[in-house]
Chain A
Amino acid sequence: MSLPIEKLEEEFQAKIDAGHSIEPKDWMPEKYRKTHIRQISQHAHSEIVGMLPEGNWITRTPSLRRKVALLAKVQDEAGHGLYLYSAAETLGISRDELFEQLHSGKAKYSSIFNYPTLSWADIGAIGWLVDGAAIINQVMLTRTSYGPYARAMVRICKEESFHQRQGYEIMLTLCRGTEVQKQMAQDSLNRWWWPSLMMFGPVDAESTHTEQSMKWKIKRKTNDELRQQFIDITVPQADFLGITVPDPDLKWNEEKGQYDFGAIDWDEFWQVVKGNGPCNKERLDTRRQAFEEGAWVREAALAYAEKKEKAKDLAKAV
């Protein structure tokens, strides 16, 4: 009793339009499956690669309180990567295949993690800006059409709620501290502001996936809408800190009820996407190295498990 593909697709779209979730064993268009594998794995890779710039400061935190907070945060990112890889696996691809795509450079991850963390304030700025931008995206994704992805996002959003507060608290402490600390915070905002705005992706007119993604409810708002939302939330937070957003064109537009902002350097964005950012190669090398160095460990654990299983069977047979 197989239906023609057009009919299936129609029913599928109707289901999404009615707000129903799509679950792993449900029929889905091949393109839906592929798009989800791409997006969920990109998201997972971002969590895993995202551990590295912050991990860079774990051994150098200025206090024990900051140490445990940062360790727990970076650990959460490993957890979030894991939830997301699991969600992608429900679409019939293995984690090893996904790693392979990351390591070969075929799969992308958020470009923001190709920027270096040069000072302690960068740990604050990442929590405040990068997690702030991510949360806007992620909250939207808790209502996405693919069930396992949406459920992973609910869990992630719940856990992430401390991440941004952790970052802002670091910034606040710096801005209430000595002159050199305040400078550290300002320098960090200068370096992270524009890359954070780029996190929302190209402007709508140039975004290739937006239309289809909206139809499938993978996305519920466009890149530009989300970017504007982020700016409107974040500028007052910078004001509260007493540091300056590095955009001379930034000003409140009374009429629109939102901020106008200056031009984003899209050349830089595409350069980093293409692999020419300050840390692209280093980040991928690090991930590859961890995976390759872990191969004998994973293999040994499997061999041990098989041995034990055989011994159990043998005992049963006797």
Chain B
Amino acid sequence: MNKWPLWEVFIRSKSGLEHRHVGSLHAADATMAMENARDVYTRRQEGVSIWVVPSKAITASNPEHSGELFEPAQDKAYRHPTFYDLPNELKHI
């Protein structure tokens, strides 16, 4: 009944890098989630910026659908630069 909801914590370890998921925690509200994230996940200077997101706000893909979601990309090699044959002596391309 008095369970604090779960939050996911994302941290930018230094400016120029993206926020990365580091873990989760419990907090009653966003302010507390932010403070808890600071106290729990940045005790060793791990971050310069924090995002907290209620876990229930995340929609995750279903592993059962992995086939139709991800496998169709497998044979699309033309999206990668190595697909295209060019002579080795060619420079800057």
| A86 pairs with B44, CB closer than 8 A | no
A151's nearest neighbour on chain B, judged by CB, is B23
B9's nearest neighbour on chain A, judged by CB, is A86
Which of B4, B24, B29 is A86 in contact with, Cβ under 8 Å?
B24
User: Contact string, A6-29, partner B, CB cutoff 8 A, digits 1/0?
Assistant: 000000000000000001011100
Chain B contacts with A in 1-50, Cβ cutoff 8 A: 1-4, 6, 22-26, 28-29, 32, 40, 43-44
User: Contact string, A276-300, partner B, CB cutoff 8 A, digits 1/0?
Assistant: 0000000000000000000100110
Known A-B contacts A25-B63, A26-B63, A27-B63; A86 and B2 likewise in contact (beta carbons under 8 Å): no
Interface size, A (range) = 20 to 34
Known A-B contacts A79-B43, A302-B28; A89 and B63 likewise in contact (beta carbons under 8 Å): no
* Nearest CB of A to B68, in Å: 11
User: Any chain A CB within 8 A of the CB of B88?
Assistant: no
| A301 pairs with B28, CB closer than 8 A | yes
| B29 pairs with A25, CB closer than 8 A | no
Number of chain B residues whose Cβ lies closer than 8 Å to a Cβ of chain A: 20
User: Any chain B CB within 8 A of the CB of A82?
Assistant: yes
Chain B residues with Cβ below 8 Å from A89 are: 6, 24
User: Contact string, A139-181, partner B, CB cutoff 8 A, digits 1/0?
Assistant: 0000000000000100100010000000000000000000000
Chain B contacts with A in 34-72, Cβ cutoff 8 A: 40, 43-44, 60, 62-64
Which of A25, A75, A302 is B4 in contact with, Cβ under 8 Å?
A302
Q: How many angstroms from the CA of A295 to the CA of B64 in the assembled complex?
A: 40
Q: How many angstroms from the CA of A11 to the CA of B6 in the assembled complex?
A: 32
Q: Which of A23, A25, A299, A305: most chain B Cβ within 10 A?
A: A305
Chain A residues with Cβ below 8 Å from B62 are: 25
Which of B25, B29, B40, B43 is A308 in contact with, Cβ under 8 Å?
B29
| B3 pairs with A304, CB closer than 8 A | no
User: Any chain B CB within 8 A of the CB of A94?
Assistant: yes
Q: How many angstroms from the CA of A304 to the CA of B62 in the assembled complex?
A: 35
* Nearest CB of B to A224, in Å: 33
Residues of A contacting B: mostly: helix
| A96 pairs with B3, CB closer than 8 A | yes
User: Any chain B CB within 8 A of the CB of A95?
Assistant: yes
Which of A75, A79, A304 is B29 in contact with, Cβ under 8 Å?
A304
| A304 pairs with B26, CB closer than 8 A | no
* Nearest CB of A to B59, in Å: 12
A307's nearest neighbour on chain B, judged by CB, is B29
* Nearest CB of B to A123, in Å: 20
Q: How many angstroms from the CA of A147 to the CA of B92 in the assembled complex?
A: 41
Chain B residues with Cβ below 8 Å from A26 are: 63
Q: How many angstroms from the CA of A86 to the CA of B60 in the assembled complex?
A: 17
User: Contact string, A70-114, partner B, CB cutoff 8 A, digits 1/0?
Assistant: 001001100100110010010000111000000000000000000
Additional pairs, 9, CB under 8 Å, beyond known A25-B63, A301-B4, A305-B29: A23-B63, A27-B64, A83-B23, A95-B3, A152-B23, A155-B22, A155-B23, A301-B28, A309-B29
> Can you sample 27 A-B contacts with CB below 8 Å?
A23-B63, A25-B60, A25-B62, A26-B63, A76-B43, A79-B40, A86-B6, A86-B25, A89-B6, A89-B24, A96-B3, A152-B23, A155-B22, A155-B23, A159-B44, A299-B1, A301-B4, A301-B28, A301-B29, A301-B32, A302-B2, A302-B4, A304-B28, A304-B29, A305-B28, A305-B29, A305-B32
**What 7 A-B pairs are tightest by C-beta distance, nearest first?**
A301-B28, A305-B29, A299-B2, A305-B28, A86-B24, A298-B2, A302-B28
